[in-house]
Every structure is written in C-alpha cells, then in structure tokens.
A and B are shown apart, each in its own frame.
Chain A
Amino acid sequence: MSSSRSFSIKSLLARHETVLVLVILFEVILFQVLGRNFLTGRNFSNVFRHSVEIGLLAVAMTPVILTGGIDLSVGSMMGLCAVLFGMMVNSLGMNPWLAGISAVAFGAMGGGVNALLITRLNLPPLIVTLGTFSLFRGLAEAITKGAESYSGFSPSFLALGNSNIAGLPAQIWVFFIVAAGIWFLVHRTTFGRSFRAIGYASEGARYAGIPVARNTSLAYIIAGAVAGLAAVILVARLGEARANAGIGYELLAITAVVLGGVSIFGGSGTVVGTILGWIALAILNNGLTRISDYKIMDQTVASVARELSGLLTGLLLLTALTIGASTKTLAVRHARKQSLAKPTSNPATS
C-alpha cells in the first residue's frame, strides 16, 4: 500500500512494480541483441505513438477494476466516438477541436449508461458492458452503414497524431496529463480510497457512509470519457475515422492493467503498475517487428510480429494471473503458519 518506510532489497523485490521494471529492461536488452534499429530515438517515439490509445484505456480502466468491476465496452466506445467525431467534422462541418471535446463528452455519456445500469439496477458490470460492447459497436456500424469512413481532416488536427512537441510525440503529452490526473485521483483523493474500499467490500463501504453508487459511476464515466479521447487521438494518427476503430483494445487494456498488478478482484493495485504493464506490452509489440534475422514457422519474426505479440500477450496474461493467484494462496498459507508458530505473540502478521 501507499507509504511503506522500509527499503530493504527484499521488500523492493516483492513489489510488483520492481518486477515489471526488470521485465522491461530484459525486453529492451533482448530486442536490442536480436533485433535491428531497436534502441533508437525514432523507434521509441513510434513505440509510444502507436500504443498511446491502449495506454489511455488501461490507465482509465484502473479505477474501474479497483472497484471490482470491469468495462468491456471501451474498445467499442472508441469506434462509436471515432465515427461520431468524423460525422461532426465532415457532415456537420464542426471545428475538429470542438468535435473532439464533444466526442469526449459522448464517451462520458456512454460510460454514464454503463454506470446507470450497474449502480442503479445493481446489474453485474461484466454483462452490462458486454451488452454495450455490442451496442456501441453496432451503432458505429449502423451510422457508417458498415462501410463508410470519414477522412480529410485539417492538418492542424492531424498534427495531434503525427507531430512532436519538445521531442516527444504530441499525444504522449496528452497521455501524461490524463495519467497524472488519474494517478492523483486514485492515490491522493478520497475517491481513490473509496474505489479500493468498494473493491474490497462494497457493502462494507456502504455501511461506512461512502456514496458507493456515485463513486462507482465516476469510475465508469471516466473510462468512457477517456475512450472518447483515445478515439480522437487514434483518428488524428490514422487520418481516418472508421467504425472498426479500437477493436480488441479492451482486451489489451485489461491485459496491461492485470500485468500491472492490479487485482482483478478489486481493491489493490497502482496506476504506476498499470503504466509499467502497458510499457512492457508496447515494447513487446514493437520489438518483435524489429527481429528480421530469426524465423518462426518459415516466416521472419517481423512479418508475423502481430500474431506473435498477440499470442505472447495472451500467454503473459495467463501467466500473470496464475502467479497472482498462487502467491495469494501462498500468502494465506504463510500467514497461517506464522500465526501457528507464535500463538501467543501480538497478532500483527500480515
């Protein structure tokens, strides 16, 4: 949890974040040795430029998962917001920045629909967001009649997706602002505290007078709004708004969150962990495309990098889950042993 004052090597190693940093370092070394042009400024710009949308979704998914919920609809929400954005700019002739803000507002409204169904009707988040997952994507497809796309955006808007500011991709700065905001919310405000309380024991939180429905709603609304923002950034990068924007992104975002050590049962986890989980995934994706000297199934690794990184992502998620579950069991066993060994001692083993 937050302020632990001891800095022994053992406790540092036990922290999930440390393990992730080591994993990232390992990845960097591996790809530098095996791949070509991996450790270059340009490539690293690319790593983050091409995955910032997933980073945004992952960071915004963190509060939702902390409350013990899940939001499967964020990828579809991106598709819907992208299409709405394209329509506002192209068909209605709206200023792209104004349209961008509207897209974020639509995202927040979509999140509000999830929140309403989950908190007011007490429906399970899984099934509600599975329904909106289908609904939002379906609306996007219906608006574009399954095929149309919007393009021809102004260069000043496209710069958001393709230019650099102070040596870093423009959208990375947006990510920094959003991530810092959500970090503050989760770790420094009573909202973050209540997300955890709700995740650990939502009834217990209610008995302590925490506005459970209101705060849970906030998490879903933020997730929706950030999905809208991610859609705008994606459109700015690709120069095109299509109904299939963000397909499968919810999985990648959830993977990043779980890899980042946020408990899928709710309650524990950090925003920094999520960001590290996302970086580890992003480097994996990019690194594989740099390996052209090695072959797998008669193809160079680079040419099947997408499939390979998808496969590895899935396996990684499974491994992380398994390790998470086994350490939980081990911790329980350990605690029991300790309390048995010293039956009369002060009951202060965690």
Chain B
Amino acid sequence: MNKYFRELTVAAALGLLMLGLAILAPHFFQFQPFISRLTSQMPALVAAIGIALIIISRQIDISIGSQFSMCAIIAGVTAASGLPLGVAIFAALGAGAMMGALNGVLVAYLGLPSIVVTLATMVTWQEALRLWQQGRLLNLPKGIQWFGLSQPAGQTIVISLAFILLIGAAWAMKNLAAGRFIYATGTDAEAARLAGIDPKRTTFGVFVLMGILAGLAAVFNLVQSPQVQPNCGDGLELKTIAAAVVGGVAISGGRGTLWGVLLGMLLLANVNPALTHFHQPPYWEKAIQGLVILLAVVADGIRSRKARL
C-alpha cells in the first residue's frame, strides 16, 4: 500500500468538504472570515505538532490543555504587570518547558505510564489555576493584541509563524538526527537503546518540547483577544490527539508525519464551521470528533490486522 495512503485519504476528505462548501455555502470562503478562522486554528496546530511528536515516541500527553491555560495566564499576568511582550512570551515558554519537564521526568525516568502521569498533572495545573484566578477573566494591555500591530498584519504573522514552525518541524523530523531518535524510540525503545540512542533522554526531550510548544500556542492564542480566560485550553488535548490520529500518526508509536497532522487538524477544525454553514446545529461537534477518532483507529486496526495475516 502507498506509504502516504492515509495522508492522501484525509486530503481527499478535506477536499470534498471544501468542495461541498464551495458549492453549497460559497460565503464560507469570503477572505476576511476565512483568514480569521484560519488564525484561530493556529494555536491548536502548534500544539498538535507537539502532540504528534509525543505520540510518535509512543507516549501520550493529556495535560496540554492545562499547560496551555497555565502558560496563557502566566504570560497574561506578566504582560498585565507592565513588563514588555518579550518577557511575557519568555515566561510562557519557560513555564511550558518546566511543566513538560515534570511530565518527562515522571514518564521517562520513573517509568510511569504517560496517560496517568499527564492525567494527574492535568488536574493539578487546572485546579491550581482555578485556585489562583478564581475563574476571572484577565484583561490584557493594549500592546499585546496582534503584537501591537493591526489585525491583518498580526494575523499574517501568526499564520506564517505557525506554518514556518510546521515546515521546520517536518524538515527536522526527516533530516535531523533528533527526528530519527524519536521515530526509533517510538518503534522499539529497546532496539533504540541497543543502537546507542538514549530512549529516556529522547522521551524526556519530547515532553519538554511539548511544553514549550504548548507555551507558544498559548502566546498565539493570547495575541488574538483583549482578554484571556483561565480555561482557554480546555479540550485542546482531545482536539490535537484527534488531529494526529486522523492524520495517520499511529497510536502504537513510530509512524506518522506532520503533514498528516496538518491535514487532520484542518479537517476536524472545519467540521464545526461547516456544520454552521450547512445550517446544521453545532451540538454534534463533539460526537463527530469522537466518531472520527474511532473511525481512524478502527481503520488502523483493520489495516494492521491485515498486515499481520
């Protein structure tokens, strides 16, 4: 079977959805709303890059929604206290790196299952944030929005940065030794060890990277609105895991490309806007998301079953 079969399937599905929209609801493609919609999907795309690396290394991280919220609030508080934007961004990335490092230590060096570790850190950060912020909206200083630029300019920056990051990460996964360490660790940690790769360090590194990307995603989210909510990251883990799985990242590790993740992200992110444009009620979003995840894993399951026989 073609190596990129899954990517092509998802691309075809996305194409069909867009075609349907073009025929039935052409106003979906009006320039400004389209760009705005795309911009609002960029934070999730950045986080999805991280989650893809996590899954390729045969781990999972469901704490990224909490990490995202935490980073957003930390950056927001930093900015609100009058410090320059650069400091706020640095604070978000630093906080993300530290939260990722905690997950990484527990998973890589204590050998705990990532699902439970990140479940625990997810609750911890979420509740710590609630305790700290009491659910208040945090007002941001004027200079933060769109990096103090005009909205179109800011949107261009966010979209281009996110895509540069995606292209860079995809290139690195293919062409840097680090990428192969991640694939090798996810395929077979013991074989990786015998090949002289340190699977623990690789796993730790991936979790730290995930934290940093969650922080960056939070920054991309922060600049889009005048306020930030302490629960802004809720559900991000599901959205990104779904995108990765739909995009062909094998949950059993070692397989998948970031291009697939991009396609999966775009397909899932456009389900809800498409529902609205087809004049369908939006309450089905979560159910459809769940169904799509299940369909994707069932497809994988059937495929690997065939491969085994």
A residues near B (Cβ < 8 Å) are: 70, 117, 121-124, 126-128, 130-139, 141-142, 144-146, 251, 254-255, 258, 264-265, 296-297, 299, 304, 306-308, 310-311, 313-315, 317-318, 321-322, 325-326, 329
Contacts and interface: CB of A to CB of B under 8 A. Distances in A.
A254 B252 CA distance: 23
A13 B130 CA distance: 37
A123 B301 contact: yes
The prevalent SS among residues of B at the interface is: helix
A127 B293 CA distance: 8
Contacts, number: 151
Contacts of A296: 131
Contacts of B127: 307-308, 310-311, 313-314
19 contacts: A117-B294, A124-B251, A126-B60, A127-B245, A131-B294, A134-B242, A135-B287, A138-B286, A138-B289, A138-B291, A141-B286, A141-B287, A145-B283, A255-B120, A307-B131, A311-B127, A313-B127, A314-B121, A321-B106
B281 A145 contact: yes
B278 to A, nearest CB: 15
A136 B298 CA distance: 17
B113 interface: yes
Contact of B131 (A133, A304, A317): A304
A322 B107 CA distance: 10
A138 B285 contact: yes
B290 interface: yes
Contacts of A141: 283, 286-287
Contacts of B117: 318, 321
A127 B297 contact: yes
B288 interface: yes
B137 interface: no
Contacts of A123: 251, 297-298, 300-301
A126 B238 CA distance: 12
A258 B301 contact: no
A132 B290 contact: yes
Interface in B41-79: 60
Contacts of B283: 138, 141-142, 144-146
Contact of B126 (A127, A304, A308, A310): A310
A121 B290 contact: no
Nearest to A243: B283
Contacts of B293: 127, 130-131, 134-135
Contacts of B305: 121-122
A299 B134 CA distance: 10
B119 interface: yes
B290 A135 contact: yes
Nearest to B288: A138
Given A122-B301, A123-B301, A297-B131, A135 B123 contact: no
B298 A134 contact: no
A264 B113 contact: yes
Nearest to B282: A146
A130 B238 contact: yes
